Structure 1
Amino acid sequence: MSSQQPTNARDVIGDIAPKLADLTEDVLFGDIWERPALSKRDRSLVTVAALVSMCRTEQMPFHFSRAIENGVTQQEIIELITHLSFYAGWPSAMSAIMRAKDLFGAK
């Protein structure tokens, strides 16, 4: 696991699903996110696109913030959501943009 961007999986789910917490930290963030073939910025764009497409709104705040940390701008996230509205569906895009609005503080 990268010491730069630890997750809190053990704190959040470790009491009920310790193996899932371990896999999240050790495999997902410790291995997959560290593979050199894609930059972390590119991985963030792919991850955010997948979350928007599948309307996984609960995971969006964490990954929107992580994307910003990895060099994706707020405007790029908004543009990604707008672009996906035609490919992933309007309701998915509207749900995602509301999560972005909550996170980025837009009024």
Structure 2
Amino acid sequence: MTTPEPTGAQKLFGDFAPALVGFTDGLLFGEVWERPELSPRERSLVTVACLTTSGNTDQLVFHLAKAKENGASEEELIEAITHLAFYAGWPKAMSAMAVAKRVFRGE
């Protein structure tokens, strides 16, 4: 019997913040992301938009890749960030686009 690969939260915080890891893995990515009212692709687009508008670019690295896994294209994600420049502010969109470029092109 093999042990499952640790989650991202477990890798980041392991024994340091076990309650946060539990909430992240069980509640957020377990219950919330599994609700049927929105598709995983829709949830990813909403999440990328929220992270962009709030300037949380550290979290964008994971969520841009997850959005691609959930069916969003690079072109759609780039367009979403471009669109958000007019609502979230140019600096936040530029920061988010820099993250997208690193995630999508490795630059």
The match for 2:63 is: 63
Q: Do the aligned partners of 1:33 and 1:43 also contact (CA within 8 Å) in 2?
A: yes
Asked if 1:48 corresponds to 2:48, the answer is yes
Distance 2:53 2:87 in 1: 8
Letter in 1 for 2:26: D
Q: Matched residues in 1 for 2:55 and 2:94: separation?
A: 9
Partner of 2:81: 81
Gaps of 5+ in 2: 1-5
Higher helix share: 2
Q: 1:23-44, CA deviations, whole angstroms, 9 ceiling, x for partnerless residues?
A: 0000000000000000000000
In 2: Cα distance, 1:72 partner to 1:7 partner: 22
Deviation at 1:7, TM superposition (A): 3.4
Deviation track 1:50-84 (CA, whole Å, cap 9, x = no partner) reads: 00000100000100000000000000000000000
Secondary structure of the residue that 1:86 maps to in structure 2?
A: helix
Equivalence for 1:27: 27
How many residue pairs get matched? 102
Please list every run of at least 4 consecutive aligned residues from structure 1 whose deviation after the TM superposition is greater than 4 angstroms.
Answer: none
The CA distance in 1 between the partners of 2:63 and 2:79, in whole Å, is: 16
> RMSD in angstroms over aligned alpha carbons?
1.3
Secondary structure (helix, strand or coil) at the match of 1:72 reads coil
% identical aligned pairs? 54
Counterpart for residue 72 of structure 2: 72
Shift of 1:106: 6.8
Cα deviation code 1:1-20 (max 9, x no counterpart): xxxxx832112112210000
SS of structure 2 residue aligned to 1:30: helix
Name the aligned partner's letter for residue 86 of structure 1: F
TM-score (norm 2): 0.91
